[in-house]
A and B are shown apart, each in its own frame.
Chain A
């Protein structure tokens, strides 16, 4: 990742620090040069540099610093998302510098737990992920402002909102590196162009996958499955597959009650039931008849009836539970005597 080369350079830092105390302009210039040396524009801080750049009195500190607290030991914990957040943080820094080249108002920095435990203590940081904004008017380190959990939610975009609202500086649109680099795109384009004549030849000869009925059917069933299970909902709303129960973190919640919202897993479960029942109906009339053994036929028939019954009931029950509607028959009002009250 980005900070690795920067770290070597930072070995020089103690030497630089010997020149303290420096004026406000010196500090800014120093930070700018450090930033220039880091490829992503995120400055790596240590205990000493924190004292130098951040503990200085406000008069000599006319800049804000957005500080990302990192811990290499915790990168392996999947639920903290530290590496991902760190990447997003670098993106944010890069976008900011694209928008405000050479700015001396806001610097992005990170700090690692194993090498700078003292600073973690000074800031009072005891849980990660943690991002702090230290503005000129903050007199103590612990008094600086912590970025709320909600601002990690949409990654770099929401972090940018936080920065914009607190510092008044413009971050601009987040520039994400494209999925494929330019060379890769060109290469793919060339490959595609080369393959066109071959593809045309095969299409004309009629022996592509496109001529296989089963491929089309599998595709069709997948589109159906994806749509009815609300897969698109998950993509647009970024809903998770499941939630953890608030009162009991070990328990997972797969089904969300309330018609306006759904989780990924519940949609796919229900979509699977739809597809299952549908294919069973199709199978009974088209496949089962070709089976030789009578015994198998009978058994399959019973199984289809039983599974179909169970699946349909399950889905209807889930739907009623989720939407809160209780769907019932309207009987003629003259029958009221027998069918009332609910």
Chain B
């Protein structure tokens, strides 16, 4: 066959033949290259549909700090005290962030500049996440090859390249820690598994550096430092302790710890906080194990060793427990943080920490979100689990544990689907690859002699059925049917992913798009309009009060000082803002005076139907405010437990600052044909208080679609 195709080629090329192995290599490399490119370009939908810009909220802070880093250099960045946020407290930026992302982007920028590409730092930031997502596919390939075979590696790379669960956090413009962190996470895991498989110091050293990069990039590193000890523990319990494991874990833990402590935000937490104690405990346990092994080897007497074992184990457990108890009691070991605790006891955050529960990405995951983010991978996952259990090795145990723990966490919080995505892709890839491989071998046995094929895939259908001649025709058909089914599923996956990426995950959420009544696209660019207005029309030292969601954007785009922002480190300060927003105007005025507020910014969707506006977030302001200041009570804003803004609303609701600022002059406006003026298109009601008078504030600016409204706080009246 091959010779016939080559006949029209010129003679030198015709003599250029590849051996089967080389052909396979060529195929594999070119497939990987295509996957690499695919992973990058599928994430560019957001640039095509909107423009090259930074998305959402947190990325604006990252962008601002990156800008600072490239302009002022690393030591300035390290020592940066930011007085523009958290007024009047300020924020020690250098010590309270994970610098990995910014440093990465700055290095990429320098590198491109050195190659004399005249890029703007913003473009580098916008494309950082897709670039790292593409790199992740390579790691996924290597990882898949490590735990199964190179076929599974390629399938894993292809699956993760377009997996919506991962794309949601890594489209162009979503310049957030997770963008590089998933790459670092998978890399660390890969290197560690590789180290466990080979027992080589070099690989475990590499995984320690991978861990260092992960720690520098994202707070999610806590997942690694708890999963690895858990994995080691499971291996110990199931009797899979080996020297390879000992070398890999010790080197990785000691070096990784020392390196991680260099990140200022982590520092001594790594040896002091309760979240890291599991890793340290397992570290000591391994030493005990090794010691016992050594003693067993030296003693050479079973009875003696048994009594020795008993004594050592009792001592070790007692000492460990005592150390933990004393450490916790003396305050040397800090207890678990709320975020960590809420993962283990999922109902904890809902009852105790409203500031965590209020964030939409911290909500528990419904099945439809899983379906949306993984689609057919969910069908393949149990099959993959089964395959892994059938071929248990140190590596498959790891991937199973990674898959299950991350799946559990993904069920607790929507955003952690991201962490589960690589594991789900890998395990599903095992299922897909192994099944397809089995089926194709089956089909190929038809053309060759039945016995010849069964060599490679042990346990496959072909091997078992090779001897039975009559069954072949039927099997052949069934295999083709199954194969077609598999390809149908995979192509559905590709279609699903493309659609989801382009329609659901590429929106920057700072520029909003909606369908107009004639089917065309309408763009609302009100946020930037408002922020540029602030930048141009307010004094440079003006202080802006808004709900914390918009803090990063105001400082980054408006270049003005804010009271609170998305780094929710000070609950009291946020509660103060929540209290001001939910008080009557005169009470709020006193609070605003005490915080030197000059402008108040609210987000309002009643005109456009934009549903994540401040009125819908308002109950959280009340809850968070009421959590610190008991004068604010949630029932005051509700009528029979119902949240309303129309005539039947609670009187306190109708007259609080947030209501007044959102609905000021709204009573005069007709938003929808056939509806009375003052018809709120988000809540679907006519508002209850149309005659709003402001005494201490005045309207300064309202954007063209009313999405952002800015009010100026009047100076105090003259004393007379």
Contact = CB atoms under 8 A, between A and B. Distances in A.
B378 interface: yes
Interface stretch (A38-46, A121-129, A182-190, A312-320): A312-320
B505 to A, nearest CB: 12
A200 interface: yes
Interface string A214-230: 00110011011011111
B475 to A, nearest CB: 8
B431 interface: yes
A230 B461 contact: no
B404 to A, nearest CB: 5
Contact of A323 (B372, B465, B495): B372
Given A262-B367, A271-B367, A278-B383, A290 B489 contact: no
Interface string B361-386: 00011111111100010111111111
A323 to B, nearest CB: 5
Given A289-B464, A301-B478, A312 B489 contact: yes
Contacts of A322: 368
Given A210-B238, A223-B408, A228-B407, A259 B379 contact: no
Contacts of B383: 278-279, 281-282
A270 interface: yes
Interface size grouping (class) on chain A:
35 or more
Given A220-B400, A282-B387, A330-B502, A228 B372 contact: no
Contact of A229 (B367, B460, B482): B367
A57 interface: no
A232 B636 CA distance: 31
A301 B479 CA distance: 9
Contacts of A262: 366-368
A267 to B, nearest CB: 4
A221 B404 CA distance: 9
A235 interface: yes
Given A259-B366, A262-B367, A232 B379 contact: no
Nearest to B413: A232
Contacts of A330: 498-499, 502
B435 A232 contact: no
B382 A279 contact: yes
Given A266-B367, A322-B368, A220 B379 contact: no
Dominant secondary structure at the B interface: helix
Contact of A308 (B485, B633, B642): B485
Interface string A262-300: 100011001100110111011011101110001001100
Contacts of B489: 312
A220 B389 contact: yes
B385 A221 contact: yes
Contact of A282 (B386, B463, B633): B386
A interface secondary structure, majority: helix
A237 B496 CA distance: 29
Given A148-B640, A279-B382, A323 B368 contact: yes
A210 B459 CA distance: 26
Interface in B461-487: 461, 463-465, 468, 471, 474, 478, 481-482, 485
B674 interface: no
Contacts of A37: none
B382 A230 contact: no
B455 interface: no
B268 to A, nearest CB: 33
B47 to A, nearest CB: 16
Contacts of B410: 227
A281 B411 contact: no
B62 interface: no
- The residue in A213, A316, A319 that gathers the most chain B C-beta atoms within 10 A of its C-beta is A319
B365 A230 contact: yes
Interface in B392-409: 392, 400, 403-404, 407-408
Contact of B635 (A161, A236, A316): A161
B708 interface: no
Contacts of B389: 213, 216-217, 220
A192 interface: no
Contacts of B366: 230, 233, 259-262, 267
A184 B430 CA distance: 47
Interface residues of B, number: 73
A151 interface: yes
A232 B371 contact: no
Nearest to B349: A236
B407 A223 contact: yes
B434 interface: yes
Given A282-B383, A284-B482, A232 B367 contact: no
Given A232-B411, A312-B376, A328-B499, A224 B367 contact: no
Given A206-B239, A308-B485, A315-B371, A228 B378 contact: yes
B295 to A, nearest CB: 14
Interface in A47-98: none
A165 interface: yes
Given A223-B408, A305-B481, A329 B495 contact: yes
Interface string B430-447: 010011001000000000
Contacts of A216: 389
A319 B371 CA distance: 7
A327 interface: yes
B500 interface: yes
Contacts of A316: 492
A153 B461 CA distance: 56
B347 interface: yes
B464 A165 contact: no
Contact of A327 (B379, B384, B500): B500
B700 to A, nearest CB: 35
Nearest to A234: B364
B641 interface: yes
B471 to A, nearest CB: 6
B350 interface: yes
A203 B235 CA distance: 12
Nearest to A228: B370
Interface in A11-47: none
B237 interface: yes
B237 A224 contact: no
Contacts of B474: 298
A21 B226 CA distance: 71
Contacts of A278: 378-386, 431
A286 B382 contact: no
B365 A232 contact: yes
Contacts of A223: 404, 407-408
Nearest to B504: A325
A289 B465 CA distance: 7
B627 to A, nearest CB: 14
Contacts of A231: 411
Interface of A: 148, 150-151, 153, 161, 165, 197, 200, 203-204, 206, 210-211, 213, 216-217, 220-221, 223-224, 226-233, 235-237, 259-262, 266-267, 270-271, 274-275, 277-279, 281-282, 284-286, 288-290, 294, 297-298, 301-302, 305, 308-309, 312, 315-316, 319, 322-323, 325, 327-330
24 contacts: A148-B640, A165-B635, A200-B313, A204-B309, A210-B237, A220-B385, A223-B407, A224-B381, A224-B404, A228-B370, A230-B364, A230-B365, A230-B367, A233-B411, A236-B346, A262-B368, A278-B378, A278-B386, A289-B459, A302-B478, A312-B376, A319-B372, A325-B504, A327-B499
Query: Closest 9 interchain pairs by CB?
Result: A278-B382, A282-B386, A150-B641, A227-B411, A232-B411, A281-B383, A289-B464, A262-B366, A233-B364
Given A223-B407, A232-B411, 19 more contacts: A150-B640, A197-B310, A227-B408, A228-B407, A230-B411, A232-B412, A233-B365, A236-B346, A262-B367, A278-B378, A285-B435, A289-B459, A294-B468, A302-B478, A305-B481, A308-B485, A312-B379, A316-B492, A325-B504
